[in-house]
Amino acid sequence: MRRLIVVAGTTGTGKSELAVRLAETIGGEIVNYDSVQIYRGFDIGSAKPSAETRSRVPHHLFDLIEADVEFNAADYAKAARETCADIERRGRTPILVGGTFFYLRALLSGLPEMPGRDAAIRARLARIADRPRGPGRLHAWLSKIDAQSGRKIAPADRHRVERALEVWLASGRPISSWERPKADSNAETPALKMALTLERPRLVEMLDRRVEAMYAAGLVEETRALLARYPSSSRPFTSIGYAEAAAVISGSLTIEAAMAETRRRTRAYAKRQMTWLRSERNVQWLDASDRDKAFEAALRLARGTT
RNA sequence: GGAGAGUUGGCUGAGCGGUCAAAAGCAGCAGACUGUAAAUCUGCCGGGCCACGCCCUACGGAGGUUCGAAUCCUCCACUCUCCA
């Protein structure tokens, strides 16, 4: 039985702080599963734990890569698996903290051993997709070679349509024929999963305040510096906060409009996270409105399991 | 004081005689998630039902024209712009 603790919850519920306290108390180390905090230099907008916080207990998988380096869920799962194994080897407990539940699932349940991303194929598919009736064509093509995926993936869902076709072109097998390596629940990496929640109105209030704070802390300046270092097409520049800050710099948004848009996107993101979490099984829910009580509860759970 | 423009569902905002419970976006709610995932996408969204159909209430207010009005006319209320 592996000892592995997951701290989940929507943005702004105090996951990082709770996790660090937990790590200090039970001898754990923090492992990030946030897709933006992975990037070096994207600090303010991703609400990355401060250097001070990080000095309290070992933190892993933060600032792992440069913004212009390609990185995906499979890369994450591989890196995280190694990191967790190493922590356990040293007799400590990995405490996973983040909000990218797709990455978390890739780590805990694994991904099928199918072909990865192929730049040439993607370019070819993108060329078709960019044509007038392109997306519809691609979806029709997908339906032809893989009826199941055709039904499951919406024609407008470009990312998924293109990925499904990419797998087909690279392997000659429909994507729906590739299954997770460990489908049975026994193989699933056992983990104690806890999730922090706040009732909607309080959460929204919290998130709004956090966005204000990010801009006040210099999100636009941070973005300007990052844009000087990496191409503006780099992945993390599409993430919440950075996309809007970049728009301010390019002059297409006023600072007020950018903040409003960031607030909007942050709320929508939190909602999606909730949807994901609700579908997740074996989750221990913790009320985030009282941080100390939440911590006590988390500690009891951690001790009961480890 | 004079001349115009406007008042539409929680908000922004189309509609300008029927096919309108009313486009679109936002917000809200629910959901999906097999290598871009803070991404991408789907559904619902006036109310009530014995719900693939029916009923009620709705486009500032009151009347009117018409088989039929959010759409035309009259008056009233309010808002805005320009000229004084």
In tens, the pLDDT along A186-228 reads: 456 778 899 999 988 899 999 999 999 999 999 999 999 999 9
For strand B, is any atom closer than 7 Å to the CB of A176? yes
Distance A254 CA to B21 C1' (A): 37
Query: What does the H/E/C string look like for A77-140?
Result: HHHHHHHHHHHHHCCCEEEEECCCHHHHHHHHHCCCCCCCCCHHHHHHHHHHHCCCCHHHHHHH
Task: Give the C-alpha distances (Å, rounded to integers) separating A194 from A27, A171, A264.
Answer: 18, 38, 26
- Cα dihedral A88, A281, A37, A231 sign: positive
For strand B, is any atom closer than 7 Å to the CB of A75? yes
Q: Are A98 and A37 in contact (CB under 8 A)?
A: yes
pTM, entire model: 0.88
Q: What is the mean pLDDT of chain A?
A: 90
Angle among Cα A246, A64, A249 to the nearest 5 degrees reads 10
In tens, the pLDDT along A16-63 reads: 999 999 999 989 999 999 999 999 999 999 999 999 999 999 999 999
Angle among Cα A69, A153, A186 to the nearest 5 degrees reads 75
- Alpha-helical regions (H) of chain A: 15-26, 51-56, 73-89, 101-109, 119-129, 134-145, 147-152, 158-171, 200-216, 219-229, 242-250, 255-279, 291-305
Residues 6+ apart with CB under 8 A from A258: A215, A220, A244, A245, A247, A248
Rounded to an integer, what distance in angstroms lies between the CA atom of residue A126 and that of residue A10? 33
- The per-residue pLDDT for A1 is 41
Largest separation between any pair of C-alpha atoms in chain A: 58
Which chain A residues in 199-258 sit with Cβ < 7 A of strand B?
200, 204, 235, 238-241
Distance A154 CA to B31 C1' (A): 14
In tens, the pLDDT along A290-304 reads: 989 989 988 888 887
Residues 6+ apart with CB under 8 A from A10: A99, A196, A197, A198, A203, A269, A270, A273, A274, A277
In tens, the pLDDT along A216-270 reads: 999 999 999 999 999 999 999 999 999 999 999 998 888 988 999 999 999 999 9
The SS3 of residue A19 is helix
Q: Which nucleotide is nearest to A262 (CA to C1')?
A: B38
For strand B, is any atom closer than 7 Å to the CB of A37? yes
